[in-house]
Amino acid sequence: MERQVVITGLGVVTPLGNDVATFWEGLLEGRSGVDLITLFDPADLDVRIAAEVKDFDPVALFGKRAARRNDRFTHFALEATRQAITDADIKFEGSDGQKVGVLIGTAIGGFITLLDNFEVFKIRGSRRVSPFMVPMMMPNAASAAIAITYGLHGPNLTIASACATGSHAIGEAGEMIRRGQSEVMICGGSEAIIAPIALAGLKNMGALSTRNDDPQRASRPFDADRDGFVIGEGAGVLILESLEHASARKARIYCELTGYGATSDAFHITAPDETGQGGAWAMEQALSDAAITPEEVDYINAHGTSTPLNDRTESIAIRTVFGPHADQIAVSSTKSMIGHLIGAAGAVEAVACVKSLETGWVHPTINYETPDPECDLDYVPNQARRLEPKVVLSNSFGFGGHNGCVILRKWDETA
């Protein structure tokens, strides 16, 4: 019999708050975490808005030495992990560390470290480049730092699949528990790439919103006037356990991870296949994996980036999979409030899904003002909704045609 996988701990660092309670409160209130950039002077850029993490002091959290020897994306991952471990009330002692794995994904890794050291190289020469540059910038740095911090000797790896990374990390971590490779997985995603050159590149490819004069209304998924996504940063981390392991230690169980799907559009390096077929296949895989019918899904946390092509394509994919039932499903985009966290997006959005199952509420898609005839689903416009979902689905679709989908089910201790 296949092993069941449950979620027992949550942690986040986000543009709406640096803990789960504050983040969730902000989502239900429909607050925007988007504003003018403060991390650097964006005056010379065409895009001057982003969804930054605020009030985050790595020196206070980790001490001066550790703060200097880790990139910002690793700082985010370490803090979100600390929260998740505390939330799960789990301890790692002795040989128990061999049963615990780490899978923290990122699309880019230590981007800020690379940029900083390149400037040092140009101005001050090769001898002044930090000896910590490579271990700070490598994509697996966050996973490694977590394992080192907590003495975890189980499987340790990193996934990089652009904007699908967070969902892939959760899904693959669940598979490792299912096949008995690990009893516990610390999984999720982290990203920190708010930098001038990143904004320039994304803007020049036509991906970003340019609503500099109205930052909080810039991210508007599924709205007819959407003009691109808003770059964000942060981390989301979840503790997954086998049901046997969680039950043995009498853990509080949030929900069950029941389904996972992963496909490729094999179409274009950035644009989605406009038929939506790749995303539809991922959702169908996840439904099959969860052994449920489309009619059992109550809520979809959409990829919902606020780009013209993505939102239309995702809406088509949902209709392809769910048929007439699509009209009965609440669909909302977390990115309307926190922007696009790239490799961390799917993980932070999974945390929002867990909170929906726990509380019975689904958060809104804010800034939804003008319906788009080609996006014709129920996007939970502007106000949170009491729904009491039992089964939720979360989509993540990335540059390169990567598609990831996870399905979570409300935990019933009496079942």
All structural domains of the chain: 5-248 (3.40.47.10), 259-410 (3.40.47.10)
pLDDT of residue 93: 76
For 92, 96, 245, 331, the CA distances from 100, given in Å and listed in that order, are 8, 7, 11, 34
For 323, counting Cβ atoms within 10 Å of its Cβ (0-12 exposed, 13-18 middle, 19+ buried), the class is exposed
Which residue numbers are catalytic? 163, 303, 340
Please tell me whether the overall predicted TM-score, pTM, comes out greater than 0.95 for this model: yes
- Give the Cβ contact number of residue 260 at 10 Å: 24
For 70, 136, 246, the CA distances from 126, given in Å and listed in that order, are 20, 17, 50
| C-alpha–C-alpha distance, residues 283 and 45, integer Å | 38
Within 13 Å, how many C-alpha atoms sit on residue 335's CB side? 38
pLDDT of residue 308: 96
DSSP string, 287-353: HHHHT--GGG--EEE----S-HHHHHHHHHHHHHHHGGGGGGSEEE-THHHH-B-GGGHHHHHHHHH
Helices 165-178 and 345-359, packing angle to 10 deg: 70
Beta bridge partners of 98: none
Could you state, in chain order, the average pLDDT of each consecutive group of 10 residues for the chain (415 residues)?
92 98 98 98 97 98 95 98 98 81 98 96 96 97 97 97 98 97 97 98 97 98 98 98 97 98 95 95 98 98 97 98 98 98 98 98 98 98 98 97 98 76
Q: Contact 336/224 with Cβ under 8 angstroms?
A: no
The per-residue pLDDT for range 83-97, each reduced to its tens digit, is 999 999 999 876 677
The per-residue pLDDT for range 156-174, each reduced to its tens digit, is 999 999 999 999 999 999 9
